[in-house]
Structures are given as structure tokens and as C-alpha cells.
Structure 1
Amino acid sequence: MTVLVVGGSGFLGAEVCRLAVAAGERVVGTYHSGAVGMAGVEARRLDVTDRAAVRDLIARVRPTVVIGTPYRYGDWAVTADGAAHIAYAAAEAGARLVHISSDALHAGRSEPYGDDEPPSPIFPYGAAKAAAETAVRAIDPAAALVRTSLILGERSKQIQLCRDALAGRAALFTDELRCPIDVVDLAGAVLELAGTDYTGPINVAGPDAVSRAELGLLVARREGLDPTVMKTTTGAEAGVLRPTDVRLDSARAVGLLRTRLRGVRELLAA
């Protein structure tokens, strides 16, 4: 099997590449600015906003599976248009597509979101992710769309933000609930899905709903840092408009996949 990871230099993309190489697959990983420096991965530079370039690369690589993980916060052309270009080229080549989406496309509410609920974005990034899903589903109805949450790992931005807050360099929101997932678990689930005929959206997130501030306290406990100096705030106080309570019900993924989706409390146990 040839696995093409679009965004292979990113945090999730690099882990997908690592697991695919370990499984003995031919792996091609794309990058835009940060190179893919991993043994066993064929690196290709790609600008996902260039539709012709995306089509040309996929036609030359002839992948069995395309994993779409390009990410640039606040950039519609990458997030939405890039996803459409990938979907078009993958469908044209007859490749299986797994598109990485986000819980950011939901508005937030007190009940968990099921897999098939329509997007309800309330801020630009959420709107871009919703547009990406709409394009992918229209172009390639056979694609799987993985809706996930905060992605954790030693190199993750989420963990570094917690460390910064514990050092007084940043503040964590007390009113934003998410269901964080470990990058290894997510990458494993993505590759599993690639080998199935599952279509449409599917929630793949951790079972624990925690605020960013609670996440910070878990990091403090694990790393032996003083939690009393951690800075906190709320979205309203910070003047930002983002969804607050966004919990994903991942029961369908748990029943379908062998990969265990561990909770953040287990992941960050002291």
C-alpha cells in the first residue's frame, strides 16, 4: 500500500508517517515550509492551495490512501480550498481519502455531539473546517472525515501552552471544554480507518472532557510544577469568540476500531 500524507511535516502528519512506515507501507509525506525528515518517508514539497500541483503530485505518486492533514490556523486557502483540491485529486486517482476535520466546526452546547451532526461554526476557523468538510463530501462521498479535538503529545502546542501558563507567560481558559486525544492514538485510528470502507464524519477524540485550565493542572501535576502560579481567564475576558463546551461522543469509533482512545487523565497520570 502507498500512503500519501499531505501535511507530513506537521504534528499529526509526522506521527501518521511514522506508524505507516513501521507497518511496512510505502509512505510519501508532503511539506510546505518544514521538511519531512524521517527515515523511510519519501518527502515531497507541496502547496495545497495550488490545485494543479496537488493533482500532479497525486497522479505521480499513485497512492492507495491519501491522509489529508494540512493545517494553518486562520488560513482559509489552506484549510478549506486545500482540502477541496486534495479531495478532487484523490477521487480522480481512485485513492481512499481520510480527511482530518475538527471539533471547531461546532458552536458548543451542554450535550456531546454525535458523529453525524451538521456543522454550526461561530468563528472563522470553524467556518473554514466546515467548508472543507462540505467540499470533501461533495467531491468524494466515499471519504472518511475524522472530527477530532485537542491533539496532545510531548511536542504538541497544547502541552506547550500549558507549560507557558504555568510559567506565567500565557493564560488558559476555564470555560473551554474539549476532549483531548493523544497523537499516537489519533494517528493509529486514522490509519485503521484508511483500511475500512467507512464513509462520512466520525468523531475520534478522548473520553475525558476537560477545560484548558484543567489540562494545565494535569500537566503541572505530572511535571511537578507549581499550579498556583498558573494564569487563567475566560473567553469573554480575553475578548475572543470561540465555542466553549464542545464534547465529542466517540462511541462509534470505539466500537469500530481496535485503537484504544485513551483519556487525558490516563495520559497525564503523574
Structure 2
Amino acid sequence: MRVLVVGGSGFLGREVCRRGVGAGWSVVGTCHCGDVRVPGVVVRRVDVTDRSAVRALVADVRPDVVVNASYRYDAWAVTADGAAHVAGAAAEVGARLVHMSSDALHAGRPEAYADDDPPTPIFPYGAAKAAAETVVRALDPSAVLVRTSLIVGQGSKQIQLCRDALAGRATLFTDELRCPIDVTDLAAAVVELVGSDYAGTLNVAGPEAVSRAELGRLVAHHQGLDASALKTTTTVEYGLVRPTTIRLDTTRATTLLRTRLRGITELLTL
């Protein structure tokens, strides 16, 4: 099976590439500014904001499956327009599409969000992710859209942010709850979905909701750091308009997938 991983140089993309090679796939990973750095992966450079370039790449590779793990937090052209370009190109060659989405497209509420709950974005990144889902579903109803949460693991930006807050270089929010998932668990789930016929949205996240501040304290305990030095605040005090409590109901994913989605407390006590 030939699989094209768009965003193969990213934190999740590299792990999907590694697992794809391990599964015996022929893997092509894309990058724009960085590098994939995974043995056995053919690397191609592409700018997902360039529709013609994306179409040309996909037509040349002719993958059986496209995994789109490409995004930029502050760039609509990458997150939304890029998703449209990838989905359109995948549809043209008849490739299955696994599109990586985010819990950021929800507004936040005390109750957990089901897989099929519609987007309710309240900030630009969430709006871009919601727009991406809309165009992917329109272009390819058979695609799977994976809604995930904070991605953690060795070398993750989320863990580094916690370390920065413990060193006084950043601040973590006590009122912003998410369901962190380890990159290896998420990549394993993506690999399973590549070989499935599941279509539509699917929540794939950790089973445990914690605040960013609590995540920082767990990291401190795990790494033997002084948690009393952790800098915290609230989104209101910080003047930030962003969702606060987002819990994802992962009942469907845990029933569908063989991969066990581990909670953050378990991950940081290993």
C-alpha cells in the first residue's frame, strides 16, 4: 500500500510515517520548511497553500491513502485552504483520506462532545479547523475526520510548554481543560483507520480531561521538577478568547479501534 503523509515533518506526521514503514507501507512524507527524518520514507516538498502543486504531487505519487496531518495554528491558508487542496487532490486519484482535525472547533462546555457534534468555533484556529472539516466532507463523504486533542510525548510542544512554565518562561491556564493523547497512541489509531472503511468524524483522544496547569504539575512530578514554581493564570485574567472546557467522548473510538487510548496520568507515571 502506498500512503502519502501530508505534514510528514510534523510531530504527529513523523510518527505516522514511522509506523507506516513498520507496517510495510510504501510511505511518502511531505514537508515544507523542515524535514521528515524517518528512515525508509521518500520525502517530497510541497506547499499545501499551492493547489496546483498539491494536485501535481498527488497525481505523481498516486497514493492509495492520503493522511493529512498538516496545519498551522496561525494560518488559515494552511489549515483550511490547504485541507481543501489535499482533499480535492486525493479525490481526483481515488485515494482514501484520513484528515486530522481538532477539538479546537468546539466552543467548550461542561458536557462531553460526541463524535458527530457540529463545530461551534469561537476563535480563528477553531474556525479554520471547522472550515477544513466542511470542505473535506463535501469533497469526500467517505473520508474519516479524526478529532483529537493536545498531542503529548517525547519532544512535544505541549510538554515543552509545561517545562517553560515550570522555569518561569510561560504561563499555563487553570480553566482550560483538554484530553491529552500520546503521539504514539494517536499514530497507532491513524494507522488502523487507514486500513478501515470508517467514514465521518471520530473523536480520538485520551480518556482523561485535565487543565493545562494540572498537566504542568503532572510533568513536574514525572520529571522530578519543582511544581511550586509553576506559573498559572486563567484565560479571563489573560484576556484570551479561546475554548475552556472541552471533553471528547471517545466511546466510539475505543469500541472501533484495537489501540488503547491511555490517560495522561498513566502516561506520566510510566
TM-score between both structures, scaled by the size of structure 1:
0.99
Which residue is 1:193 aligned to? 193
Alignment map for 1:150-189 (pairs within 5 Å): 150-189=150-189
Task: For 2:235, give the aligned amino acid.
Answer: G
TM superposition shift of 1:122 = 0.2
Task: For 1:36, give the aligned amino acid.
Answer: V
Structure 2, gaps ≥5 residues long: none
**In structure 2, how many angstroms separate the alpha carbons of the residues matched to 1:120 and 1:127?**
8
Task: For 2:37, give the aligned amino acid.
Answer: G
User: Which segments of structure 1 move beyond 2 Å, counting only runs of 4 or more?
Assistant: none
Which residue is 2:85 aligned to? 85
Which residue is 2:15 aligned to? 15
Would you say 1:242 and 2:242 are equivalent positions? Answer: yes
TM superposition shift of 1:38 = 1.6
**In structure 2, how many angstroms separate the alpha carbons of the residues matched to 1:49 and 1:187?**
24
Structure 1, residues 42-98: CA drift from partner, whole Å, max 9, x if none?
000000011111111111101011000111111000000000000000011000000
Structure 1, gaps ≥5 residues long: none
Give the match's secondary structure for 2:104. helix
**In structure 2, how many angstroms separate the alpha carbons of the residues matched to 1:263 and 1:3?**
29
Which residue is 2:122 aligned to? 122
Task: For 2:220, give the aligned amino acid.
Answer: A
Aligned length: 270
**In structure 1, how many angstroms separate the alpha carbons of the residues matched to 2:45 and 2:169?**
34
Would you say 1:105 and 2:105 are equivalent positions? Answer: yes
TM superposition shift of 1:18 = 0.4
Identity among equivalent positions (%) equals 72
Task: For 2:64, give the aligned amino acid.
Answer: T
**In structure 2, how many angstroms separate the alpha carbons of the residues matched to 1:68 and 1:234?**
33
Structure 1, residues 186-230: CA drift from partner, whole Å, max 9, x if none?
001011011111111000000000000000010000011001110
Give the match's secondary structure for 2:37. coil
Give the match's secondary structure for 1:98. strand
Which residue is 1:133 aligned to? 133
**In structure 1, how many angstroms separate the alpha carbons of the residues matched to 2:231 and 2:269?**
22
Which residue is 2:231 aligned to? 231
**In structure 1, how many angstroms separate the alpha carbons of the residues matched to 2:171 and 2:26?**
42
Which residue is 1:46 aligned to? 46
